[in-house]
Chains A and B, each alone.
Chain A
């Protein structure tokens, strides 16, 4: 998006807070306004509204106080980017420092400073349960079974405490939004976003603009991983444009701003008590999740809910007590990240499973296999599971064992100074979308029989738009190169899609596409029936023709019907064939606020993963040798892309587990907002990746497919921690797993 600069475009830059928690006493923009080329400077009071969903707690620019290091306090609009940035440096703000709250655990203590004093007054859009007078933005409860009985039946009981820090999405493309307000009031937004339709809704709501007057364009997005699902720069670009009379203004983040001021990957502090019988059957789980939502709750409040919904991992546990909270801290605020709360919850439960399996003396995969959740069991939200809404975990584990030669190899072996070890993890994920999340699709035939597919799924590098053309090609029995789909989404012309998140695009949009294909097929058959003087039921569509099923040589090429059919004498019937379809989530319900009972999503995808490491026992440096994932994909639509989605996700999971973390000083300032000091895994440091699929169809999905965009990441941190724990003997429960972390765990326990 930043590649295009139309003439007359103005540029905006942010001035941000150097403090993690402080009152704003005064803002002086006079020095900045003096710089030639500066067109406007706006601050918090220019837009005294609160944004955010499900809890509206965030002003577009800070008002009265700042709550995180890097929070926007002003937007400068200028002729050139460098002028805007120069001006941003000249903005003088008087702050009065406030005490900082720097961890979710600290935020949870009584008598900790309040980050949101007015929590009780915030508007609530969806199910969300903030607790005014505390730093709790949301609490989700799971109360299932009978805990007293569960503990009574536990012969073994363990407890673990884990933590994962916040980190960055680190997409290649920086976040960028532009806005223009036309003389007739239309607002045109371009944005690197996963959520064009939500941008439209949010701007309409926030600024009282009629919905149809907000038009959002999203081009091909250069990577996102959940970070561009949040709406932040769009508000600011709109306000900036308004401040200069509607002229087009573009706002691009520098890398530092993209890492800190725009929302980050959520962190977690959790404690889990887990019990089982002497045979190893899980009996009870008591879980406390304190998610680090940062200064504003954004989607953190829903990620913490996801943390509750799937809190047990893919295991059968009859007695579950879980409180999953989204905490406010004076950290940058968190938004969706690949996995949506699951990498974090999985790390917690899988470390607990590992410790318990050792206590019982069972092989780690056997233990997981024995307790694997299956058809007939219920989820923590008491949804009854069956072969369709639940993938096949025992099959994934069995396949993992076979691939790794599990029974013929030791978990751990030494070779001089080097210790080789393997660690495993299982995972599951259902989505936690609104119960009315849905998609539309339009299939337009061109005169040459080719097809244009219109839909609202954003291409963020996951190849969803390609897969959608494949689904359509399959249904129309056409070559997929005859199906055209653009790379951008335009909310004015493309049918609405909730947003491109949750690994649900191929499911929701895919079903809409198939529905649109059916509609197009009906139209083709209806016209052909008249021409061939038969009934539509006798016809079939495929290979570019509509033909009589019993006598395939009798038929008409689609290109002769796509725009209506013209008889030899000129008489024409029908018109352009335009198939339309839509699909909305079915049978989802809200969760009971006391017990968590409800049906949160369409299906649980499952998988089993393993990581093998070689650790140098002298200095605790290590190499990741292999990483393996077996996932139940329902139906693999595009094998090469599916494999690279899983591999890419695994790489992200290993990177974040081994080295990614935002580091803070004791005043809450971020110490490493640049790639010089924020570490990412590199070429040459990657393991060999092994990915295999199991296919158990999800009966409501196109061809039985299950969403797999996020899942490769989910169990990787836990598998890495388990492998390093097996190697070193030190219980590694805190990320990131740098050699120093391993050394400290070993030495601090001595």
Chain B
């Protein structure tokens, strides 16, 4: 159980949320934004975090949008992973989202929570990295929009008091050929050893990874290597492995050596699958 008292706030607008945050922070209450709350429960019950106040974003209309219009797919940060998969506007995102945890938990985990949380897999961000999604952020100055690549580096780089409101993905990415593989220690549930999401645009393959390092990433260097059709696939994979942005993860799911083995296979499978499409 969560062994401490904390305050609960449920603002009805972006402005109120941001204002409350500032106020509570000034009062020394260490406020935390949340939507699903699964991470707060996970960390608080093991006494790893101790917020004095939580700000529930689920009543904010902009955070609950799921709208496919002429140009874009707009998904609010408080939309759950199971809702996203059920609506299935962006198949790669649906598949990636439905690999996270299990059904019961996905009914609570939100897109924003999965991306902004402290658990470092953040798998739902992979399709967004590949689709060059734009992120709408709320802060004291109001709303701002930027490309995901400008504000996501290992995690979403938010200023103090900011929160993710929506993601906006260009329609042109939604039905590109794609592939998604999630390899785990064993079975069909659990954290990843290796998750590879990839899509193909204009004959180029773009890949993104979670579980490989201690953060999700997309790498232009690796993509360049993998797309070099003048080299045999096995050689491309060997080279790409050397270009990882950080050492391979070693944790209770699996060792770094084993991850390397799994990653090579999964990368090869991804490239092979997309090359022909």
Interface residues of A (CB under 8 A from B): 81-82, 85-86, 88-89, 254, 256, 618-619, 621, 658-659, 663, 671-672, 674, 676-677, 679, 681-682, 684-685, 738-740, 743-744
Complex contacts, B255 vs chain A, CB 8 Å:
740
Besides A619-B183, A677-B253, A679-B187, 8 more A-B contacts (Cβ < 8 Å) are: A81-B1, A88-B3, A89-B3, A89-B47, A618-B265, A621-B186, A658-B186, A659-B185
20 A-B residue pairings within 8 Å (CB atoms): A81-B1, A82-B3, A82-B5, A85-B3, A254-B1, A256-B46, A619-B262, A619-B265, A621-B186, A672-B252, A674-B46, A676-B42, A676-B191, A679-B190, A685-B187, A739-B185, A739-B186, A740-B185, A740-B255, A743-B261
Q: Is the CB of B252 within 8 A of A663?
A: yes
Q: Is the CB of B183 within 8 A of A682?
A: no
Q: Which residue of B lies closest to A682 (CB)?
A: B189
Instruction: Report Cα–Cα, A86/B187, bound state, in Å.
Output: 37
Instruction: Report Cα–Cα, A682/B185, bound state, in Å.
Output: 14
Q: Which residue of B lies closest to A619 (CB)?
A: B265
Kindly state whether residue B188 has any CB partner on chain A within 8 Å: yes
Describe A's contact surface by its main secondary structure.
loop
Complex contacts, A676 vs chain B, CB 8 Å:
42, 191
Q: Is the CB of A82 within 8 A of B187?
A: no
Instruction: Report Cα–Cα, A738/B191, bound state, in Å.
Output: 15
Q: Is the CB of B254 within 8 A of A740?
A: yes
Instruction: Report Cα–Cα, A189/B197, bound state, in Å.
Output: 55
Do A86 and B4 form a contact, CB below 8 Å, given A676-B42, A676-B191, A744-B258? yes
Complex contacts, B45 vs chain A, CB 8 Å:
254
Q: Is the CB of B261 within 8 A of A82?
A: no
Q: Is the CB of A677 within 8 A of B258?
A: no
9 interchain residue pairs of minimum CB distance: A85-B3, A740-B258, A86-B3, A82-B3, A659-B186, A738-B186, A671-B252, A685-B187, A672-B252
Q: Is the CB of A743 within 8 A of B189?
A: no
Q: Which of B174-215 contact A (CB under 8 A)?
A: 183, 185-191
Kindly state whether residue B2 has any CB partner on chain A within 8 Å: yes
Q: Is the CB of A682 within 8 A of B42?
A: no
Q: Is the CB of A679 within 8 A of B186?
A: yes
Q: Which residue of A lies closest to B255 (CB)?
A: A740
Q: Which residue of B lies closest to A740 (CB)?
A: B258
Q: Is the CB of A677 within 8 A of B252?
A: yes
Complex contacts, B186 vs chain A, CB 8 Å:
621, 658-659, 679, 738-739
Q: Which residue of A lies closest to B268 (CB)?
A: A618
Interface size class of B (residues with CB under 8 A): 20 to 34
Interface residues of B (CB under 8 A from A): 1-5, 42, 45-47, 102, 183, 185-191, 252-255, 258, 261-262, 265
Q: Is the CB of A85 within 8 A of B1?
A: yes
Instruction: Report Cα–Cα, A681/B185, bound state, in Å.
Output: 12
Within the complex, the shortest CB–CB distance from A665 to chain B, in Å, comes to 10
Instruction: Report Cα–Cα, A85/B102, bound state, in Å.
Output: 29
Instruction: Report Cα–Cα, A682/B190, bound state, in Å.
Output: 11
Q: Which residue of B lies closest to A255 (CB)?
A: B45
Q: Is the CB of B4 within 8 A of A82?
A: yes
Question: Which of these, A663, A674, A682, contacts B188 with CB under 8 Å?
Answer: A682
Question: Which of these, B46, B190, B258, contacts A743 with CB under 8 Å?
Answer: B258
Name the residue in A81, A89, A740, A743 with the highest tally of chain B Cβ atoms < 10 Å from its Cβ: A740
Within the complex, the shortest CB–CB distance from B233 to chain A, in Å, comes to 14
Complex contacts, A82 vs chain B, CB 8 Å:
1-5
Within the complex, the shortest CB–CB distance from A155 to chain B, in Å, comes to 40
Complex contacts, A679 vs chain B, CB 8 Å:
185-187, 190
Instruction: Report Cα–Cα, A719/B185, bound state, in Å.
Output: 21
Within the complex, the shortest CB–CB distance from B132 to chain A, in Å, comes to 31
Complex contacts, B253 vs chain A, CB 8 Å:
677
Within the complex, the shortest CB–CB distance from A96 to chain B, in Å, comes to 24
Instruction: Report Cα–Cα, A739/B45, bound state, in Å.
Output: 31
Complex contacts, B183 vs chain A, CB 8 Å:
619, 621
Instruction: Report Cα–Cα, A619/B259, bound state, in Å.
Output: 11
Complex contacts, A86 vs chain B, CB 8 Å:
3-4
Instruction: Report Cα–Cα, A85/B3, bound state, in Å.
Output: 6
Instruction: Report Cα–Cα, A677/B189, bound state, in Å.
Output: 10
Instruction: Report Cα–Cα, A584/B176, bound state, in Å.
Output: 74
Q: Which residue of B lies closest to A663 (CB)?
A: B252
Complex contacts, B265 vs chain A, CB 8 Å:
618-619
Q: Which residue of A lies closest to B101 (CB)?
A: A676
Complex contacts, B252 vs chain A, CB 8 Å:
663, 671-672, 677
Complex contacts, A88 vs chain B, CB 8 Å:
3
Within the complex, the shortest CB–CB distance from B131 to chain A, in Å, comes to 28
Within the complex, the shortest CB–CB distance from B114 to chain A, in Å, comes to 15
Complex contacts, B5 vs chain A, CB 8 Å:
82
Within the complex, the shortest CB–CB distance from B75 to chain A, in Å, comes to 26
Q: Is the CB of B191 within 8 A of A677?
A: yes
Q: Which residue of B lies closest to A681 (CB)?
A: B187
Within the complex, the shortest CB–CB distance from B122 to chain A, in Å, comes to 15
Within the complex, the shortest CB–CB distance from B108 to chain A, in Å, comes to 14
Instruction: Report Cα–Cα, A88/B47, bound state, in Å.
Output: 11
Complex contacts, B262 vs chain A, CB 8 Å:
619
Complex contacts, B188 vs chain A, CB 8 Å:
682, 684-685
Instruction: Report Cα–Cα, A618/B181, bound state, in Å.
Output: 15
Instruction: Report Cα–Cα, A743/B102, bound state, in Å.
Output: 27
Within the complex, the shortest CB–CB distance from B188 to chain A, in Å, comes to 6
Instruction: Report Cα–Cα, A727/B64, bound state, in Å.
Output: 50
Complex contacts, B190 vs chain A, CB 8 Å:
677, 679
Instruction: Report Cα–Cα, A685/B186, bound state, in Å.
Output: 10
Name the residue in B2, B5, B185 with the highest tally of chain A Cβ atoms < 10 Å from its Cβ: B185
Instruction: Report Cα–Cα, A679/B187, bound state, in Å.
Output: 9
Complex contacts, A677 vs chain B, CB 8 Å:
190-191, 252-253
Instruction: Report Cα–Cα, A744/B262, bound state, in Å.
Output: 12
Instruction: Report Cα–Cα, A86/B45, bound state, in Å.
Output: 11
